[in-house]
Every structure is written in C-alpha cells, then in structure tokens.
Amino acid sequence: MTTIIRLGARIRAARKAAGFKTAKTFLKKHKVPASTYSQHESGARTPDDKALKFYSKVFDVGFDWLKNGKGHPYKKTDPAKKAIFAEESFEIKQINNKNLDIKLLTDIIEQLFKEAKIFHASKSAKGIANKVAKMYSKNT
C-alpha cells in the first residue's frame, strides 16, 4: 500500500511543479477522466505505464522517478520546481514514516497476541501499553 501512496504523492507533486495548482486545472486542459486521475493521485488505483508516460511528458518529469521514485524528478533545473518538490518530498517522507510506524506497531501487536500470556499476565491497559512501548523502542 505504501508504494501506491508514494506514487500518488509523486504524481501530485509533479502536477503542482508543472504549474497545475489544482487537479481540476490539469484535467480541464488535458481532458483526462477526473475519476481516473483522482484515483491515481490519491493512490486508490495504480496507473499503467501508458498513463505514467503521459504524466511524465505533461509534467516534464522523469518516467523512472514518477514510476519508482528513482533518479531526479525534474528533467530541467528550475528553482521553482525544486522548491515545490522539496515541499512535497517532505510530505511524502511524513506519510512514509507514519506508514512505517503503523507497520511496526502492527507487527508488535501481532507478536503480543501470539504471546497471549503477556495479555493474561498484564490485565491493565497501562501494563499492555508499557510492553508495547518497550518493544517499539527496541525496533526504532
């Protein structure tokens, strides 16, 4: 799921850096179906390579960066684009960190359930929270 989220965030960042402040302005100019594009940008649907090549061309970003997050996002060095990508990259990192934290906590909780004796031995919510906090701090 995180890959799709990151892809959608890269599409949004590329759109904004290309000068389309809203998806609506992009859709109006390029006659892309609104539902399809909104699903691509939100991460609800993964675009195929044909769509990614189109976005790459229209937004003037590297195809590999758009698809995989590898390489430089912009083809030309433009200070305004750099600033927008820096801002969007920060947001992408925050999303990724949240997803990693959620994944880690999920793994810890699953481990705790496997070791059911911990839950039986520690009847209070505080005891469970302390155990989770200990396991979380070991993994971060």
Task: Name which of 62, 68, 61, 71 is nearest 19 in CA terms.
Answer: 61
Instruction: Copy the structure tokens of residue 138.
Output: 């070991």
Tokens 């200070």 belong to which residue? 79
Residue 132 pLDDT: 67
Predicted TM-score (pTM) of this structure: 0.55
Q: Which residues of 91-109 are buried (b: 16+ CB within 10 A; e: fewer)?
A: ebeebeeeeeeeeeeeebe
Q: How many CB atoms lie within 10 A of CB 119?
A: 13
Question: How much is the pLDDT for 2?
Answer: 45
What does the pLDDT read at residue 100? Answer: 54
Structure tokens at 136: 């979380």
Which of 126, 73, 92 minimizes the C-alpha distance to 100?
92
How high is the pLDDT of residue 6?
A: 81
Q: What is the pLDDT of residue 52?
A: 96
Predicted pLDDT at 49: 96
| The pLDDT of residue 55 | 95
Q: How far apart are CA 73 and CA 66, in angstroms?
A: 7
pLDDT at 1: 41
Amino acid 74: pLDDT: 65
- Structure tokens given for 35: 């539902």
Report, as ranges of residue numbers, the positions in the chain whose pLDDT lies below 70: 1-5, 74-133, 135-140
pLDDT of residue 17: 83
Q: Please give the pLDDT value at position 92.
A: 59
Query: What local confidence, expressed as pLDDT, does residue 42 receive?
Result: 87
Looking at residue 5, its pLDDT comes to: 47
